[in-house]
Structures are given as structure tokens and as C-alpha cells.
Amino acid sequence: MVKLAGLSLNEQEFLTDSLKQGIRSDGRSLDQFRDVEITLGDQPGYVDVRLGKTRVAVRVSGSITKPYEDRPFEGIFTISTEIGPIAGAFFENGRPSDEEVLVSRLIEKAIKRSGALDVEGLCIVAGDKCWNIRADIHFMDFDGGFIDASCIGVITALQHFSRPEVTVSGEQVVVYSTDEREPVKLSILHVPICVTFALFNPKEKEENIKGGADGNEEAGEFAIVDATMKEEGLSNGTLTITMNKNKEICQISKSGGLPAEGLMVMDCANKAYGIVEKLTDQIKEVLKQ
């Protein structure tokens, strides 16, 4: 994903060799997700997620605007991502790079397109007033797994956030301050969680593509869960699977990279489900407090 940030040839070889033997530099097994630390802020809608050294801050806010003309009965939900040099020296300020576009599109697809937030519930007066819920993702530190961390962040922040109560009488819309009336939670329809796999091919490219033909050749390629920055830089491509606890796949994205066997994708999806179950429970636990 990111260019190899100052990784020497020796280190590259060492990391790939040990991965081939199933050993990771941080002592995890190949299909183990890093421990996730979710901290809720004082205000509703602020969440800080740490995934190893990766740190993402998500802030959800709401305001009242006019709905889109083609969708008069729906509120507006936007997700904005900002990757600046604060996350790492290799991220540049200004124009988003291709990678960044992919990351932000992926998060958008995982949460917005999958209908995690019930936008119809955000409508106040059809065609005139609706809530505009905005999730700002700030990447504070980077050590791989941006997508996974920000997805956890956004979905937790959405559940943590509550908007002021609004009543409509005739033409008049009254917004009550949080002291006057209990604020309302957003309605979240399901909890999508992203799991990213980094794909590795220890052999030559040619063997990967042609090797399967004779049948006796064992497929050498393998996938590891939740790669760190170094592992991500070394990998030959990534595969992101988004699922929820109801065993629905919300999104799959494998944009190029190492050609992978269909069976391997199925295997990854199975592993992803285990992780999704665990993380959903963890989010629930955090929100209970």
C-alpha cells in the first residue's frame, strides 16, 4: 500500500523468509488480528481507535440541512478522510493520492453503501430539512491496517453519537438542547467490520500464474491478517473483506495484486467472520460503559 519506507534489502528478505515459515516479527500467528483498543471521548461521537501502533480518531457530528433533491426522504451521511503527514512522513499534504482515494472509497462502501446507518430516519421535513451526519476520520499514526481501524472507529462513533431531539409542528421545527430533552441515538441497522488480508507469493510470479496448471504443484501463496506497515509494504497485494455478524458480506475488494485462488478467498472470508464476531462483541462491550 505505502511505498517501502526505508526498509533495507536485508530486512525485506528477513521478513519474507520468516513469514514463509509462519513467523511474524511481532510474534502473532498469521491469522491473528492485533489487539484493538477503543477509547470513547467525553463528548458523544468521538472515538479513538488503536490497532497496534496505528491510531485513528473519528468524530461524528450532525447539522440540519436541505436534503438532496433526488432523495427528499433521506438524510445525508458523509464520510471524510484526511491522511496528512501526521500519520507518517510518506503521506503528502494536499491532493489525495490514488491509494487514499481507494481507502476512502472502501470505507464509504463498507459503511455507507451497505446501509449501516438508517438515513431515512434522519429526515425531518421531507424535501426541506434533514440531518446531515458527518464522520471525519483523522489518521494520527500509521502502522498498517488503516481501513480496518477506521471502519471500527466510524461504526463505534456512530453508535456512540446522539443527536438533539427535534419536533415538528406544522411548519415549525424545534430543536431541543441536550439539557431540555434526552438526545436521540442514531439507528444503526448492522455493524460492518473490515478485515484486510495481505497476500504473499514466495515464488516467482510466473509460477503463481502458470504453476496451478500441472496440478501437483502446491499453491505457495498465502494471506496474512492485519499486516503491519512493513508487511503491507512487502506484500503483493491486499484483499479487504467487510462482513457483519449476520454472516452477510457487505463488500469485498481486491484491486489487482497477486492473483488468488477462489478457494483462498473463501478461506479468508471464513477467517474474517471469526474476527468480525469478536470485534462486534468488543464494540458492544465498550459502548455499554
Partner 1 sequence: MSNKELYSPEGLRLDGRRWNELKSFTCKVNTHQTSSDGSSYVQQGNTKVMCKVNGPLEPKSKANSNNNNASITVNLNIASFSPVERRKRPKSDRRIKEMMTILEKTFSETVITKLYPRTQIIVDCYVLSQDGGILSAVANSVTLALIDAGIAMYDFVSSINVGLYNNSIPILDLNHLEEGDMSFLTLGIVGKSEKLAMMLLEEKIPFDKLETLLGIGISGAQRIKDLMDEELRKHGKLLISTAAS
Instruction: Give the residues lining the site for partner 1 (CB under 8 A).
Output: 98-99, 101-102, 104-105, 109, 113-115, 205-206, 208-210, 212-213, 236-237, 239, 243, 247-262, 265-266, 269, 273
The DSSP symbol for 215 reads: S
**Cα 133 from Cα 78, distance rounded (Å):** 6
Which residue's CB is nearer to partner 1, number 24 or number 203? 203
Compute the least distance from the CB of residue 254 to partner 1, in Å: 4
C-alpha distances (whole Å) from 4 to each of 1, 144, 169, 170 are 9, 12, 59, 60
Compute the least distance from the CB of residue 267 to partner 1, in Å: 11
Compute the least distance from the CB of residue 193 to partner 1, in Å: 13
Which residue's CB is nearer to partner 1, number 126 or number 189? 189
Compute the least distance from the CB of residue 231 to partner 1, in Å: 18
Which residue's CB is nearer to partner 1, number 113 or number 128? 113
Which residue's CB is nearer to partner 1, number 86 or number 252? 252
Compute the least distance from the CB of residue 162 to partner 1, in Å: 26
Give the DSSP letter string of 146-187. HHHHHHHHHHHHHHH-EEPPEEEETTEEEE--TTTSPPEEPP
Q: Which residues of 87-106 are buried (b: 16+ CB within 10 A; e: fewer)?
A: beeebeeeeeeeebebbbeb
Which residue's CB is nearer to partner 1, number 164 or number 257? 257
Compute the least distance from the CB of residue 179 to partner 1, in Å: 39
Phi, psi of 167 (to 5 degrees): -125, 150
Which residue's CB is nearer to partner 1, number 165 or number 207? 207
Which residue's CB is nearer to partner 1, number 26 or number 92? 92
> Taking the CB of residue 265, how many other CB atoms lie within 10 A of it?
16
Closest to 209 in 3D by CA, of 258, 254, 265: 258
The DSSP symbol for 22 reads: T
**Cα 50 from Cα 128, distance rounded (Å):** 39
Residue type, 201: N
Which residue's CB is nearer to partner 1, number 37 or number 261? 261
C-alpha distances (whole Å) from 243 to each of 22, 44, 149, 182 are 26, 25, 14, 32
Compute the least distance from the CB of residue 260 to partner 1, in Å: 5
Compute the least distance from the CB of residue 150 to partner 1, in Å: 16
**Cα 25 from Cα 209, distance rounded (Å):** 29
